[in-house]
Structure 1
Amino acid sequence: MQNFGDLLGPLVVRRTVAHLNLVRPVLPTRRRLVAIGSVIHLARNKDVIWGAGVNGKMLHALGRVGGLDVRAVRGPRTRERLLSLGVSCPPIYGDPALLIPHLMRVDQDGRRQKRDIALTHVPNLNDRETHGSVTLDPRSPLEECIDRIRRSELVVGSSLHGVIIAEAFGVPAVLIAPKHEDMFKYEDYYGGTGRTSFRVAASIDEAVKADLNDPPVFDPEALLGAFPADLWRS
């Protein structure tokens, strides 16, 4: 079952490679790049980590993670967990999906900045609650999801990448408490964007009425600078 958040990694990596004028990988294919998502527990020895995070539901599986080449992680909670396991991890934070507006250059076309959708609800894939036309199915095509979110005046929901894409485009976003997800990844993302506390609503109605969180504090150049360009031939 496809989730739009799972497709963001390949999209961002492809666009970053093009942005940096890189071409084909020079290292053996067994050395993988792990980027975006709560997937570090799936990493193998010598894999390169760029902006990925720890899954709060898979902490028991981290004991076998070692020998990683970490360039950046989603947030401080992931870094603390890796350091506790003896994995070297620089304090460079951010989900690479935050780079999408920078990489897509959407600001070059004024028409792309219109906000003609009042409200978009993006549930986590495991929640998948539908509330009429305001709900964006996270299984929708990736470009459709990005377009809908950036055209919205407000985004609410339990999808972490729904929140991230919204904030990347400057769209206010309010997290709705997930029913089936651990809070680790949400705390990790907000912490990695300069926020030690954030509002969590219990429902769409509550989210619409809630005070907005502070906007993310994020340096795209730092995350781009941490991209493992050495895996490609320039």
Structure 2
Amino acid sequence: MFLSDKIKKRLAFTKPAEPVSRDLNFDHVKLYYWKPLDGSLNFGDHLSKVIVSKILADRNHLLDEETKRQRTMLAIGSVLHFAGDNDVIWGTGVNGKVDVSEHTFTNLDVRAVRGPLTREFLMNRGIAVPEVYGDPALLLPHLFPGRFQKNAQKPYVVVPNLHDLKIVKTLRLENVISPVWGWNKCVEEILKAEFVIASSLHGLIIAEAYGIPACYIRFTETENLFKYNDYLMGTGRGEVEFATTVAEALKMGGMPAPTFDPTKLLNAFPIDLWEK
């Protein structure tokens, strides 16, 4: 269900972040990803910059280099409503909290999307979308081989969505990983768990990328289920099931294992924006 305009105005986190490398005075590719207004970083969204930068570096390119055309690219995150005409989409998904009318683009250059629900949304608007699915955060172990290793030290960890962080603190839960820690610390701490309980979508994704069973916990009604269903369906599964307490999550156990082909998503990366 979509939020009303009144509610969205109350949620500062629904407002757009500044695009990266906005101060460059030459044509380049801007990578757009969401950041909280208080200047902190949400690790899942920040992984967009991490992953795109690493893919480029592996191919002898950088984000802040001059290109033949000015373009904007959107990768990780439920940020499709921030896209404009001719923007490049690689892994982005629809935010179920945002009204359809806020998607003002009429054409996009789509290389991959998070899942089939986002693909259907775009195709219903007459936009061509290849059947290439997956959140780019799933590529982390392939892009950083050997950098992060599973090292089970805790029976479970809890990774709240940013909106749930205050509530989780009041619950005084154990083994909480804050989404505003550095991305590398979040990944390292997730890999210390035998089981991951998360309302953070990227808490679930990182766990599954490294083969750790994970369960979605729903602390509040803030997050729309669209993005979770989109991700699960894009990795070969059905609609998400969730727990409402840590005890219930432990009893439910992990979601079915994902099906994901990293080669297909990597091959869809728009390296041509830098090489043409």
TM-score range, shorter chain: over 0.9
1:221 aligns with 2:255: no
Q: Any conservation in 2 of the 1:63–1:85 contact (CA below 8 Å)? A: no
1:140 aligns with 2:177: no
- Distance in 2 (alpha carbons) for counterparts of 1:178 and 1:220: 31
Q: What is the TM-score when the length of structure 1 is the normalising length?
A: 0.92
What is the SS of the residue equivalent to 2:215? strand
- Distance in 1 (alpha carbons) for counterparts of 2:61 and 2:90: 16
Q: Any conservation in 2 of the 1:199–1:212 contact (CA below 8 Å)? A: no
Pair 185,25 (structure 1): closer, same or farther in 2 beyond 3 Å: farther
Pair 140,178 (structure 1): closer, same or farther in 2 beyond 3 Å: same
Q: What is the TM-score when the length of structure 2 is the normalising length?
A: 0.79
| 1:209 aligns with one of 245, 251, 256 | 251
Q: Report the CA distance between 1:68 and its aligned residue.
A: 0.6
- Distance in 2 (alpha carbons) for counterparts of 1:119 and 1:143: 18
- Distance in 2 (alpha carbons) for counterparts of 1:160 and 1:169: 15
- Distance in 2 (alpha carbons) for counterparts of 1:201 and 1:47: 37
| 1:155 aligns with one of 196, 219, 224 | 196
Q: Report the CA distance between 1:178 and its aligned residue.
A: 4.8
Aligned to 1:76: 116
Q: Report the CA distance between 1:19 and its aligned residue.
A: 2.7
Q: Using the TM superposition, name which of 55-64 and 34-43 deviates more.
A: 55-64
Which protein has greater RCO, CA pairs closer than 8 Å, 6+ apart? Answer: 1
- Distance in 2 (alpha carbons) for counterparts of 1:101 and 1:117: 21
Aligned to 1:170: 211
Aligned to 1:64: 104
What is the SS of the residue equivalent to 1:127? helix
Compute the RMSD of aligned alpha carbons: 1.7
Q: Any conservation in 1 of the 2:214–2:253 contact (CA below 8 Å)? A: no
* Matched letter for residue 104 of structure 2: R
Q: Report the CA distance between 1:196 and its aligned residue.
A: 1.3
Aligned to 1:232: 274
Q: Any conservation in 2 of the 1:25–1:233 contact (CA below 8 Å)? A: no
Q: Report the CA distance between 1:157 and its aligned residue.
A: 1.8
Q: Report the CA distance between 1:102 and its aligned residue.
A: 0.5
Q: Any conservation in 2 of the 1:39–1:52 contact (CA below 8 Å)? A: yes
* Matched letter for residue 19 of structure 1: D
* Matched letter for residue 106 of structure 2: G
Q: Any conservation in 2 of the 1:12–1:96 contact (CA below 8 Å)? A: yes
- Distance in 2 (alpha carbons) for counterparts of 1:61 and 1:149: 37
Aligned to 1:121: 158
* Paired residue total: 230
* Matched letter for residue 157 of structure 1: A
Pair 25,149 (structure 1): closer, same or farther in 2 beyond 3 Å: farther
Aligned to 1:12: 51
1:37 aligns with 2:77: yes
Q: Any conservation in 2 of the 1:119–1:153 contact (CA below 8 Å)? A: yes
Gaps of 5+ in 1: none
What is the SS of the residue equivalent to 2:74? strand
CA deviations over 1:133-174 (Å, ceiling 9, x no partner): 411111111111011112211110210010001101111110
Q: Report the CA distance between 1:25 and its aligned residue.
A: 5.2
Q: Any conservation in 1 of the 2:110–2:130 contact (CA below 8 Å)? A: yes
Runs of 4 or more above 4 Å deviation: none
